[in-house]
Amino acid sequence: MAEQREEEMEELQKVKSEAAQIINGCPILPLLIVFDLDYTLWPFFCECYDEDDMPWLYPQARGILCALKDRGIEMAIASRSPASDVAKAFLAKLGIESMFVAQLECWTHKTEHFQRIHDRTGTQFDLMLFFDDENRNIEAITKMGVTCILVNRGLNLEALRQGLTNFSQKSLGMNGKD
Ligand SMILES: [Mg+2]
């Protein structure tokens, strides 16, 4: 058991330092990164569980969140889950609840959620990066001016690299226009 824990810690540190390298390699960073929950940070729908269950994250998610936090990038959650109580309990059990600036609330439409995040943090949409596993969310939020990344197997280092690269390129392109 102790051995397994040690291996997990080693893996966490490895992912965290790889994530830090990716972050350091980007010329322009977003001010705020927003994450969906189900099938983005964790591999399940939380409405299929109850608050007493023990949640788990995608393998590289924690290391990535820690690296972003260390770099001072703000983070928020945008979830359409109908089970917001379970989602909140799971974030607390995972010990990552305090990493997010905007408190979790589940809205009917993600566009409304982004408007709330904007109102609360004062961050412009074009300074945000968003990760989600559903195309309809990606399409709706892209229209608001947010850089959006569709994840296939949850948040991982590859998705982080793609997200930060797309964000940098978009920002540089915008600056080049004027
Ligand atoms: Mg999802």
> Minimal CA–CA distance to 114: which of 104, 125, 99?
125
In degrees and rounded to multiples of 5, residue 24 shows phi and psi of -65, -25
- At 72-101, the pLDDT tens digits run 999 999 988 888 899 999 999 999 999 998
Tokens of 60: 């590289």
> Given this model, what pLDDT does residue 101 score?
87
Separation of 26 CA from ligand 1 center, angstroms?
26
Catalytic residue among 38, 50, 52, 132: 38
Cα separation, 163 vs 34, whole angstroms: 11
Q: For residues 65 and 108, which has the higher predicted lDDT (pLDDT)?
A: 65
Is-catalytic flag, 36? yes
The topology (CATH level 3) of 2-177 is: Rossmann fold (3.40.50)
Rounded to the nearest 5 percent, the helix, strand and coil shares of the chain are: 50, 10, 35
Cα separation, 13 vs 62, whole angstroms: 10
Separation of 178 CA from ligand 1 center, angstroms?
36
Separation of 73 CA from ligand 1 center, angstroms?
22
The domain ranges of the chain are: 2-177
DSSP 146: -
> Given this model, what pLDDT does residue 178 score?
43
> Given this model, what pLDDT does residue 37 score?
94
Mean pLDDT of the chain: 92
Q: What is the mean pLDDT of residues 105-120?
A: 84
> Is the pTM above the cut of 0.85?
yes
> Given this model, what pLDDT does residue 80 score?
83
